[in-house]
Structure 1
Amino acid sequence: MDAPSRTSSRRARIAVGVTAAAVGASMLVAPAAQAADPVTIDLVTVNDFHGRIENEPTGAAAGIAALAGAVDSIRAKNANTVFAAAGDLVGASTFTSFIQEDEPTIAGLNAAGLDVSSVGNHEFDKGWSDLRDRIQPLADWDYLAANLFDRVSGDPILPEYSVETFGGVSIGFIGAVTNELPSLVSPAGIADVVVGDVADNVNRVADDLSDGNPANGEADVVVLLVHEGAATVQQASATDPTTPFGRIVTQVDDDVDAIVSGHTHLAYNHVIDGRPVISSGQYGEKFSDMVIQVDPDSKDILSMTNTIYDMKKGGVLQYTEDPDILTDIVNPAKAVAAVKGAVPLGDITADFNRALQPGVDSNGNPVLVENRGGESTLGNWVADVQLWAAQQDKPDTQIAFMNPGGLRANLRYASTGAADPDGNVTYKEAADVQPFANTLVTLSLTGDQIRQVLEQQWQPAAASRPFLKLGISEGFTYTFDPTAAAGSRITGMQLDGAPVDPAASYGVVVNSFLAAGGDNFGAFTLGTGKADSGKVDLESVVQWFQEYETAAPDLAQRAVGVAITPPGAKGYAVGQTIDIALSSLDFTTTETPASTVTVSIGRKTLGTATIDRALTTANDLTGTATLSVKVPKRAVGETALKITTPTGTSISVPITVYEKAKSFVTGSPSAHIVKSGAPLSYTVRVRTSDRSYATGEIAIRDGKKTIATATLTESDKGRITVALPALDRGLHWLSAAYAGDDDTKGSTGHKSPVLVRR
C-alpha cells in the first residue's frame, strides 16, 4: 500500500517571506532547545539567458563571468546552494556566442556550476537531434522536461526530474516547456516529439515525488522549472486561467512548492496561495535567490523567501567577475567573434527596423518594445533578399514571406566605432538579425492557400501574441479589414499589380521554420513541390550584398487595412458617397512619416486625409485615416480605388461602378376640381430607362410642402395610388417626387392643378 500523500498537510505548513517564516517556526511542536537546526538551502535561478556571455558596457546584461561571481558569492555563504534555470539558455544569442554555435555559453554555464534547467523552446532551434547529440553532451547540467515524449515509444525524451540533497533534505526539480513549443520551433525539427500538457504532466511527476515510494523518486521540496511565463509583471497575469501560464499556476497541485518560470522575459516575484511564483527577467540581467528552510527531522518546509537581485546598478557590476571564465571562455570567444564579425558585407542608407509598440521594461517602466504584429522595413527587406536568393536557383519563385520572430535585431545606420563607419553592415550585424540558421524552402501555394496564410497572422486564442505580421516581398500587396470576422479579413491580394487568382499556383519561398508550419502558419504545410535549398538565411544576405552592395529601406506599406462602405448588388453607383477607414499606413520607428493619404480613381483625386501616427499595440494598425469620397461619373465599369502616400505606398481596391438608370415620374389627381372635405387621391407612375420596376419612397407635394408619402415595392410594378389629406379651399399645385433606389435615380413629375371649392 502506497504511503499517504503529504499534499494538503505540507502546503498548509509552508510559510513564505520573513514574517511567514517566523509564524512557521512557531508552529513547530518540539521545544526549540530540542529541535534540530533547520537546513537552509539557497536556490539561485535565472532564465532566458540567450547566450549573453559578455558584459554589455551600455546594457543591463552582466555576462557569464559576473553571473558566476554572483552564484559563487551565494555559495561562499552557504554550501547548500543549488543553481537552476528555466530554459532558453542558448539560441537567439548575441554574435559572440552564436558564431560558435553557443559553445562558449555552454562552457560558461558549466564553469558557473549550473546544476539543472528546464528545456526551453530555443534549445530546439536546430531540432531535437541537435539538443540530444550536441548540446546535451557538452552541458554538465541536467536538462529536464516532464511533458516531452518520443512519438514512437511514448517514453520521455529527457529526464523528467532530478533531485539534490543537502543535510539530509532533498530538493526535487521538475522540468517542463511551454505547450506552444510546436508553434515556436520548426515542427520538422521536433517531428519525433510529442508535447504533452504542462500542468497534467507536472502533477503526475510531482505526485510521484511526494507519494512516499522511493521507486518513483522522492523529494522533500519540489520546485517546478517551467519555460512558460506571465504576460505582465502584475500578479493577475500569473493567475488568469485563460492564459497558458495562468493555467499552470492555477492547476499545478500542492505537491509543487515553488514555480520558477521564464519565456516572457519579465521579472516578477509573487507569492500565490502560499507558493513562490517567480521569474528573473532575461539575459542574466538579474538573478533570484530563494532561501528555503526545512526541518531536517519532520521535513516540513519552514519558509521560502525569494529575492531578485540586479546584476548591475547604475551600469556598475555588483559582483566580481570570475577571472578564469573571462580568461578561458569569454575573451577567446570575443576574439573569434571580432575577427569573423568585423567582415564588412555592404552598406545601408538608413535604419532597417522592427516594429515598436508601447510596453514596459523588466522593471515595469513604460518603454517602447518590439511589436511582432507590425509591418517593418526589416521584415520586408529580408523577404526581398530571400526572394532574390531563391530566384537564383528557381527563377519562377514569385513571393517570399518572413516571420517576425525570426528577426532578433535591427540594422542600424549609425557607426559603432572607427572600424564601422556610418551605413556599414558587418557580418556580425547581419547575423544578429537572423541567428537561427534556417534554410530557405521553396514550394507552390494556390492563391487561396496564400490567403489562408495571411489569415493565420491572426493567431489562435491561446497564443501568446494575438497577431504576427509576416514580412512580404516587393510586388506582392494585400488589403485587410481589421473589423471583419475570422477567416474573412483578407479582402484583396495583388502580385505585380494583377489580382491573385485563388485557383492558380504561385512559387513561394519561406524559411524552414515557416515551411514546417511554425508560429501557427499551418497553411504553408499545404504547399506542393516543397524543396529545401540548403541555403542558410544568413548566407542569402551575404550573397545579396555581394551582388548589390547597398540596401535602402522601402518606406511603402505592402499591406493596408481598409474598412469600406459595402457595395450594393451592382457595386457602387455614380455619385454615391463611400466611407473609408484606413489603417497600417505608417511604420513605427525612425522611418519618414507618410503624413497624408490620397484616394483616387484613375487620375481623379477623390480625397486626401491626414494620417494619425499614434502607435497601436500588438497589431498592424498604426497609421490611420478616414475619408468620405464620392464616386465620379467617369468611373463607370470595373475600376479601382487607389490608395497612395508620399512615402510610396500604393494599394488598389478593385470596385465596380455603375450608372443608375433614369426615372420618369408622371402623376395625376383623382379629380382636378373637388368640394372641400371630399376624398382625393394621387396616382403616381414611375418608369425607368432600363425598364426595371422602380422601388423606394414617393412623396406627394403641394407646392414645396410634402403632404403624403408612400413606398413603391416590386409588386407595385412602378404604379401606386396615394390617399391625400383634406386640402384647404383654393388652388393647389400637386406633384410627385421619387427619391430613387440603389439602381435608379430620383426625379420629380410635373405639377397638376387641383381646385378645392365649397
Structure 2
Amino acid sequence: MQQRSPGAARSRATSATRTRRRAAAGALAGATVLALALGGALSAQAAPSPKGQEARSVDINLFTVNDFHGRIEQSGTAAGIARLASAVDHFRAQNSNTVFAAAGDMIGASTFTSFIQDDVPTIEALNAAGLDVSSVGNHEFDKGFSDLTDRVMPLADFEYLGANIYDKATGEVALPEYWLAKFQGVTIGFVGAVTDELPSLVSPSGIEDITVGSPVDAANRVADELSDGKKGNGEADIVIMLVHEGAATTSVESATDPNSRFGDIVLNANDNIDAIVSGHTHLPYNHVIDGRPVISSGQYGERFSNMEISYDRATKSITKMENTLYTMATAFDANNNVTAWLYEPDPEIVPIVSEATAIANELGNVVIGDASAAFNRAQRPGIVNGAPALVENRGGESTLGNLVADVQLWALEADGTREVDITFMNPGGLRADINAGETTYREAANVQSFANTLVTLDLTGAQIKGVLEEQWQPAGASRPFLKLGVNEGLAYTYDPTAAQGSHITEIFLDGMALNPAATYSVGVNSFLASGGDNFVTFRDGVNKADSGKIDLEAMVDYFETFDTVSPDYAQRAVGVDVVSVAGGQATVALSSLDFSTTEPKAGTVTVSFEGGDITTVAVDPSFPDPATFDEIGRASVTFAIPAAATADSRFVITTPTGTSSSFTLPL
C-alpha cells in the first residue's frame, strides 16, 4: 500500500492498455472515477503480484512537472528546486524504477536569479535533481532555435524532445523525437512535442530555419514506430506523450473541446499512446479520458505528479496507471504565507541555488529609481491553492503595460535619431509587478525577462486598427483576449459586443483622429515585431529597424533618468456600446473605466456635450463575467439627446481618475 504524504490530492487513472496493451481500460478507469465520485474508498487498481512473481509485474514511478520557468528559489507557493529534488529523491528511494520527466518551459520567463545568468543555474539544478527527459516548450525557443541546440541542450544532462519540429530546408525532424528507459525488461518510452502555436509565441526570426507540425500527428507517428516490433526505430512497452500544450481550464470539458488545440491532441492521440503529460496553460488537472491519464502539474514547482504504473510481462499489458497530484505547500498562516512543506530542501541542491542567488543579488540589488505607487498587471478572480484569489488577467488594461509602452517610446526617441508615434506592449511579456518605493535592477528584470530588443516599423492607420482588432484572439488560442499596453497619447474606443474584426470604433493620437491612410512610426519589442501572440499585422510593417536596445535596458535608463516614476490612472481604452437611440433619448453602456488591482476607482463617470454636463452616474467596479476581457468599471448612461446634437457631435466621457474619451450617436 502506498504511503501518502499530507497535502497530496489524489485522483486515480487505473487502466489496462487500450487496443495494444490495455484491453479493459474503460471499465477499470470508470470504476475508479465512480468510487471517488461517491466518496468511497474503493480503488480499482491491479492486485499486487503473488509472492515470488515480482519479475512478472514490473512497477514504475513516473514523476512529472511542467512550466517550471526557472523558479529555482522558494518563493510564495513555488517550492524551489531543492524541495522538488527531495520529492524526486523520496520516490526514487521507494522505487528505483523511477523516471523524472517534464512537459516543457523548464527555462525561459524565469525569475531574476536564473534569468540574469541565462538560465544556467536552472539547467544545472535540474541536472542535479535528476531530470531525465522533457519535451521542449515554447520558452525553450525564447533565444532562438540555435541557442536551444547549441547552448541549452549541451548544458542539459536530460534529453529534450520535439517530434513536431522539422528542418525547413530538408523536412527532416530537427530535434530528438523519443527517449527510452528500461526497467527489469520493461521499456517505457517518451514522445515529446510542443504546441503548434509556437510561431506566434516566440520571435519568428529565431525559428526561421524550422517548421512546426501538428503535435498529435507527430506523437502518433512516433508512438506507432515504438510499437511496430521493429527494434531499429526503437521499441517500447509503455508510451507516454510529453506535450507542451494544455487545457484552457481544469475541467474535462475543456480538455476534450474539439475546437481547441489541446482537445485535438486528447481526442486524436492514438491507442499506442498510454498517457498524456501536458503543460503550457499552467493549470493543474488530473483526468482520465477514454481510459487514458491526461494530466498537468500546474506551474513553477508548486505541484508535481507521480504516476504509478504496473506492467505485466506475461500478458504484455499495463495493469495499473494511477496518477497522484501533490501540492508542495501544505499549510498556510492567516496571511496566506506558507508555513509547512511536503519536503525539506535537498542538501545537495541547496549550494547550487545559494551560489546562483549570491551572484544574482550582487547584480540585482542596485537601486535604479523610485515608484511613487505600484505598477501592476491586471487581475481577475481565480483559484489559488484551492481558494478564491485574484490571478493575472492578460486581457485587462494595466498601469504596468501602459508604463512599458511609455518607456519604449521614450527610449526609442532618447538618442534623437528617430521619432516614434505609437508604441505597444504585449501582456505576456509582463512577468511581475513593480512595487511602490525603491525599484531595483532585479525588479525591472523580473518584469521583462525575455531580453527582447526594441524595433521600429511603419504602419498605416488602417493597419494600426488591425493590430488593435487582433487583441481579440483567433479561435483556438490559449487566451481569448490579450490587452496591449499603449503609450500616453494613443486612445481608442471599442464595442465589446461587436463581431470579430469590428470591435474598434475610433482611435485618437494626441487628440486627433487616426488617419487610416496615413503612415505612422510604431515601436514594439522584437517579439511583437515578428508577429508574436497572433499580432500578425506587425509582420506587414515596412522600414523595420532593430534599435539594438534591450527592453530591460530601456526600463533601467528610464528610471535612472526620471528618478521617480508615477502610474497614470487614466484608461487609454474605453468600451462604448450604443444600446439604443430612440424617442429623443440615448442609452450607452460604458466599460473599461477602472483598473483591476490597487489603483483608485473611478467611482463615477460624466457625459458632457459642448462643455456642459449631461449626466453623472456611478461606475460598477466589480469584476465582469467572464473576467478574461477588459470590461471592469461599467456604467449604463441614459440621457436626453440635446436638440443641437447631430451625427458628428461628440459626447465626452470623463472620470475623476483622469480617463477622458468620447463617442458619437447615430442620429
Q: Do these two structures clear the TM 0.5 threshold for a shared fold by scoring above it? A: yes
Partner of 2:213: 196
Q: 1:655 to 1:503 in 2, by over 3 A?
A: farther
- Which residue of 489, 492, 517 corresponds with 2:506? 492
The answer to whether the 8 A contact 1:183-1:519 is kept is yes
Find the partner of 2:602 among 590, 594, 608.
594
Paired with 1:398 and 1:589, the residues of 2 have a C-alpha distance of 29
Equivalent of residue 603 in structure 1, options 611, 635, 638: 611
Structure 1 match to 2:465? 451
Quick one: which of 631, 641, 645 aligns to 2:655? Answer: 645
The alignment status of 1:358 with 2:344, answered yes or no, reads no
**Contact in 1 for aligned 2:69/2:107 (Cα 8 Å):** yes
Give the Å deviation of 1:206.
Answer: 0.7
Per the alignment, residue 74 of structure 2 pairs with 55
3-state DSSP class of the match of 2:322? strand
Per the alignment, residue 549 of structure 2 pairs with 535
> Which residue number in structure 2 is paired with residue 330 of structure 1?
353
**Which of 523, 527, 532 is the aligned partner of 1:518?**
532
Instruction: Name the aligned partner's letter for residue 242 of structure 1.
Output: N
Q: Name the structure 2 match of 1:316.
A: 340
Corresponding residue to 1:46 among 38, 52, 65: 65
Q: Deviations over 1:23-46 (max 9, x none)?
A: 6x79xxxx9877844111111111
Please give the per-residue CA displacement for 1:178-227, whole angstroms capped at 9, x wherever unaligned: 12112211222212221111111111111111111112211000001111
Superposed counterparts of 1:244-643, under 5 Å: 244-314=261-331, 315-327=339-351, 329-361=352-384, 363-393=385-415, 394-413=417-436, 423-564=437-578, 576-616=584-624, 617-635=627-645, 638-643=648-653
- Report SS of the residue matched to 2:576: strand
SS at match of 2:46: helix
Equivalent AA in structure 1 for residue 405 of structure 2: A
Residue 77 of structure 1 and its aligned partner are, at CA, apart by 1.8
For residues 590-739 of structure 1, what are the structure 2 equivalents within 5 Å?
590-616=598-624, 617-635=627-645, 638-654=648-664
| 2:387 alignment partner AA | N
Partner in structure 2 of residue 19 of structure 1: 43
After superposition, residues 128-167 of structure 1 pair within 5 angstroms as 128-167=145-184
Partner amino acid, structure 2, of 1:539: E
CA deviation after TM superposition for structure 1 residue 639, in Å: 3.6
Q: Which runs of 5+ in 2 are unaligned?
A: 1-16, 33-41, 332-338
Where do residues 52-91 of structure 1 align in structure 2 (5 Å cutoff)? 52-56=71-75, 59-91=76-108
- 1:398 is displaced (CA, Å) by 0.8
Corresponding residue number in structure 2 for 1:665? none
Q: Return the offset for 1:548.
A: 0.7
Displacement after TM superposition at 1:576 (Å) = 3.7
Question: Structure 2 CA distance, aligned partners of 1:33 and 1:41?
Answer: 18
| Greater RCO, CA 8 A, separation 6+ | 2
Equivalent-residue separation in structure 1 for 2:130 and 2:666 (angstroms): 70
Letter in 1 for 2:616: T
Q: Secondary structure, in 3 states, of the residue corresponding to 1:622? A: coil
Q: CA deviation at 1:324?
A: 2.5
Question: 1:472 deviation in Å?
Answer: 0.4
Offset at residue 638 of structure 1 (A): 4.4
Q: Which residue of 2 aligns with 1:754?
A: none
CA apart distance, 1:635: 4.9
Q: Secondary structure of the equivalent of 2:19?
A: helix
* Cα separation, 1, equivalents of 2:647 and 2:490: 25
Deviation track 1:618-646 (CA, whole Å, cap 9, x = no partner) reads 11111111112333345568442111111
- The alignment of Structure 1 onto Structure 2 pairs a total of residues equal to 628
Q: Cα gap change, 1:212/1:603 in structure 2, threshold over 3 Å: closer, same or farther?
A: same
Report the AA paired with residue 546 of structure 1: E
Tell me how far 1:485 sits from its aligned partner: 1.7
Contact 1:167 1:296 in 2 (8 A): no
State the shift of 1:566 in Å.
7.4
Query: How far does residue 143 in structure 1 lie from its aligned partner after superposition?
Result: 0.4
Spell out, residue by residue over 1:226-260, the C-alpha distance to the aligned partner (whole angstroms, 9 max, x if none).
Answer: 11112222222222222221221111011111111
| 1:111 aligned to which of 108, 128, 148 | 128
Which residue type is aligned with residue 307 of structure 1?
T
Alpha-carbon offset, residue 298 of structure 1: 3.7
**Who wins on radius of gyration, i.e. which is larger?**
1
SS in 1 for 2:43: helix
Per-residue displacement from partner, 1:312-362 (whole Å, max 9, x unpaired)? 3213232232222212x111111011111110010111111111111222x
Q: Aligned partners of 2:73, 2:421: CA distance in 1, in Å?
A: 41
Report whether the alignment pairs 1:126 with 2:134. no
The percentage of aligned residue pairs carrying the same residue is 60
Deviation string, structure 1 residues 480-536 (Cα, Å, up to 9, x no partner): 111122222111011001110000000110000000000000011111100011100
User: 2:135 touches 2:242 (CA, 8 Å); kept in 1?
Assistant: yes
**C-alpha separation in 2, matches of 1:273 and 1:476:** 51
- Asked whether the 8 Å contact 1:13–1:301 carries over to 2, the reply is no
- Residue by residue over 1:264-322, the C-alpha shift from the partner in whole angstroms, topping out at 9 and shown as x without a partner, is 21222222222111111111112111111112344321211111222232132322322
Residues 126-163 of structure 1: CA deviation (Å, up to 9, x unaligned): 11121111111111110001111111111111111111
Residue aligned with 2:373, SS: coil
CA-to-aligned-CA distance 1:1-53 (integer Å, 9 cap, x gap): xxxxx961412155567833336x79xxxx98778441111111111111111
Q: CA deviation at 1:565?
A: 5.6
TM-score, normalising length from structure 1? 0.80
Q: Per-residue displacement from partner, 1:543-594 (whole Å, max 9, x unpaired)?
A: 1112111111100000101112678xxxx9xx94222111111111101000
Q: Residue 553 of structure 2: SS of its match in structure 1?
A: helix
Asked if residue 178 in structure 1 is aligned to residue 195 in structure 2, the reply is: yes
Cα distance in 1 between the residues matched to 2:149 and 2:296: 26
Q: Secondary structure at the match of 1:323?
A: coil
Question: For residues 139 and 122 of structure 1, what CA distance do their matches in structure 2 show?
Answer: 15
Deviation of 1:656 after TM superposition, in Å, equals 8.6
- CA distances 1:663-689 after superposition (whole Å, capped 9, x unpaired): xxxxxxxxxxxxxxxxxxxxxxxxxxx
CA contact (8 A) 2:647 2:664 kept: no
SS at match of 1:179: coil
* Displacement of 1:655: 6.1
